[in-house]
Amino acid sequence: MKRVMTIGGSDCSGGAGIQADIKTFSALGVYGTSVLTAITAQNSYGVQMKQEVPVELVKAQIESIMNDEGFAVDYTKTGMLYSSAMIEEVAKQLKKHKIPFVLDPVTKAGSGGTLLEDNALSTLIELLIPICEVVTPNVPEACLISGLEIRDKEDAKEAAKRIHKMGASAVIIKGGHLEHEIAAGKAMDLIYDGTFDEISSAYIKRENLKIVHGAGCSFSAALTAELVKGKNLRDAALSAKKFVHGAISGGEELSDLIVVNQVYKLRKDADRYRVQENVKEALRMLKSTKNFGFLIPEVGTNIGMAIEDAESEYDVAAVDGRMVLTKEGIHAGRVDFGVSGHVARLILAMMKHDRAKRSAINVKYSAEIVEACKKAGFIISSFEREKEPAGEKTMDWGVSEAAEKVLPDVIFDLGAVGKEPMVRIFGNTAVEVAEKVKRIVEYLE
């Protein structure tokens, strides 16, 4: 595993600084070490207090890591370096140990508060920019470093050229502060290493969102992780941007701030795996349940399960092509995401009322099946298709109608012209739904 080091300040709220870097490194599969340069007292309201760590202790931390073969790092990144004295020592150590690094020229906290002394900016420009592999300022930071006002992409290009002339091998100006980019619904990062390149992504719109906390730290940490794994600058920057986009999308929303969640994608991927395996196990249970085939309606049966924060059918795993009864027995396709719009709509509609009920199956309707559901102790509700308002989607309306007074385990309808009557069984997991089906079969027997 590649080893990296972050040199920066601590954020006690956990959203930015050293804490954000370490979480990012872990999420991207590199081993992270850390050198603490400052301690801050900060939260969503801003930075209330800061205390720089003694320069000699920072020097000792770096040497402690680099003098141990087990920890000596392949790449590093810098964050909060508050004073000129701190910048001088860090630059000296980076040159001494010949460590390639990403320079994140932190000047202010996302939630507010100065993290760089006024007289330290010139030291950063003189000592760190000429020796870094890439510098990653946001628009306000690029304005300070270049001395230019940046209002649009052309201004950003001029600033990138000027910073490049200061000695930086490459410059990435993050475009999240450019108003015209945000208005266009995108966020563009500008790369310059002698030639220009651009990386765009959809801008994440959130109502009343004023600031994002931890995005800059997470981007530079992600860029470091991707570079140390061997990616070229553009590919590393693209991967880092995608990572931060996901971390913002899955971030923790406060009143006027969002704190990025660096492990959001990792958790989402793990959830998708668990969900898919759960549906596969439920399918095995159903296929081995004696007489289950008698519950399969003419249109076929499907069972599905959604991930925790499902938003569309692509977040719901189900059986491709449904389960159908043949002469040879029950035939079922593969289990995958986005293969069944019907069961996905059913589950997503129920999750609007109960987020825990992430799974469902449709089975044949009969009075006996409904009676078996009652004997099994399930809460039952129903809706009448004839009353469905024009323009409504059956599952959205039907589930809402049935769940208006009670959160049911079972919802049935008697069908309509061209519509087969149906029973739908809900549960927290697909395996739980399969167990409910087995109980219904037992009562029918």
Fold annotation for 268-444? L-fuculose-1-phosphate Aldolase (3.40.225)
pLDDT score, position 186: 60
Where along the chain do the CATH 3.40.1190.20 domains lie?
Answer: 3-261
What's the pLDDT at 201?
A: 65
Pairing between β-strand 422-427 and β-strand 252-253 as defined by DSSP bridges: unpaired
Cα gap 180→128, rounded to integer Å:
31
Contact residues for 202 (Cβ-Cβ < 8 A; gap 6+):
185, 186, 187, 245
Which pLDDT score, from 0 to 100, does residue 217 have?
A: 94
Cα angle: 330, vertex 304, 437; to 5 degrees: 60
pLDDT for res 31 = 96
Chain centre distance of CA 430: 24
Instruction: Name the one residue in this structure whose structure tokens are 């396709």.
Output: 333
Residue 214, phi-psi category: left (phi > 0), alpha (psi -120 to 50), beta (remainder) = left
Q: CA quadruple 98, 103, 109, 111: dihedral positive or negative? A: negative
What pLDDT score was predicted for residue 396?
Answer: 86
> How much is the pLDDT for 292?
94
Domain 3-261 fold is: UDP-N-acetylmuramoyl-L-alanine:D-glutamate ligase (3.40.1190)
Sign of the CA dihedral with 53 first, then 56, 57, and 62 last: positive
pLDDT of residue 55: 96
Task: For 192-223, give the secondary structure using H, E and C.
Answer: ECCCEEEEEEECCCCCCCCEEECHHHHHHHHH
Residues of the chain with CATH 3.40.225.10: 268-444
The angle subtended at Cα 128 by Cα 124 and Cα 132, nearest 5°, is: 145
Does residue 96 come out as left (phi exceeding 0), alpha (psi in the -120 to 50 range) or beta? alpha
E strand or H helix that includes residue 374: helix 367-375
Nearest to 322 by CA among 428, 422, 442, 402: 422
Q: Are 228 and 4 in contact (CB under 8 A)?
A: yes
Per-position pLDDT tens, the chain of length 445: 999 999 999 999 888 999 999 999 999 999 999 999 999 998 877 788 989 999 999 999 999 999 998 888 999 999 999 999 999 999 999 999 999 999 999 987 766 667 788 889 999 999 999 999 999 999 999 999 999 999 888 999 999 999 999 999 999 999 765 654 544 446 689 999 999 999 876 555 544 455 788 999 999 999 999 999 999 999 999 999 999 988 988 888 876 788 889 998 889 999 999 999 999 999 999 999 999 999 999 999 999 999 998 999 999 999 999 999 888 888 999 999 999 999 999 999 999 999 999 999 999 999 999 999 999 999 999 999 888 888 788 788 989 989 887 899 999 999 887 789 999 999 999 999 999 999 999 999 8
